[in-house]
C-alpha cells in the first residue's frame, strides 16, 4: 500500500466549530507532515512529526492542534478558525530522517472552507 489517505475530502465549518482532519498511511513511514496550500501557491509546511513526536512547528496559530496517536495516523484539530484559514490541507509522509529514501508521499488533501 503506497498511499496516504485523508478524510474528509471537503469540510465546511463555522468560526465557532471544532473539527478534525485525519490522515493515515500504511507504508511504515515514521515521518508525517501537515501542509497548508492556498490556490496556485506551493504547500506551506505547518507541522512535522518524526517517530510520533512533534519535531517542527512552523509558528502555526494555536487554533491548529496536531496529534499523532500512532505511527500510521496524524490528526489536525481545528478550533475557532478564521475565513483566511480556508485552504487545501495536505498530509504527507516519508520514510524517516537520515534516509536516502526521503521523498514525501502526499495525500489528496482536505478542502477546508471557513465561513
- Contacts with other proteins, residue ranges (CB under 8 A): 31, 33, 40-43, 45, 48, 50, 55-56, 90, 94, 97-98, 100, 102-109
All three cell numbers of 2: 503506497
The Cα 53–Cα 102 span in angstroms is 18
Cα–Cα nearest to 110, from 59, 84, 82, 76: 76
How far separated are the first and last CA of the chain, in Å rounded? 36
Closest to other proteins by CB, 67 vs 96, is 96
Closest to other proteins by CB, 64 vs 107, is 107
Q: Omega of the bond prior to 8 within 30 degrees of 0, cis?
A: yes
Closest to other proteins by CB, 82 vs 99, is 99
Q: How far is the CB of 71 from other proteins (least distance, A)?
A: 15
Q: How far is the CB of 16 from other proteins (least distance, A)?
A: 29
Amino acid at each position: 500500500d503506497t498511499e496516504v489517505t485523508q478524510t474528509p475530502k471537503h469540510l465546511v465549518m463555522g468560526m465557532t466549530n471544532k473539527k478534525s482532519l485525519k490522515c493515515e498511511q500504511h507504508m511504515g513511514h515514521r515521518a508525517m507532515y501537515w501542509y497548508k496550500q492556498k490556490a496556485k501557491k506551493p504547500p506551506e509546511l505547518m507541522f512535522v512529526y518524526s517517530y510520533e513526536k512533534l519535531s517542527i512547528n512552523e509558528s502555526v496559530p494555536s487554533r491548529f492542534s496536531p496529534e499523532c496517536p500512532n505511527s500510521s495516523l496524524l490528526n489536525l484539530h481545528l478550533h475557532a478558525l478564521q475565513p483566511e484559514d480556508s485552504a487545501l490541507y495536505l498530509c504527507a509522509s516519508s520514510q524517516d530522517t537520515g534516509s536516502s529514501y526521503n521523498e514525501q508521499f502526499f495525500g489528496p488533501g482536505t478542502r477546508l472552507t471557513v465561513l
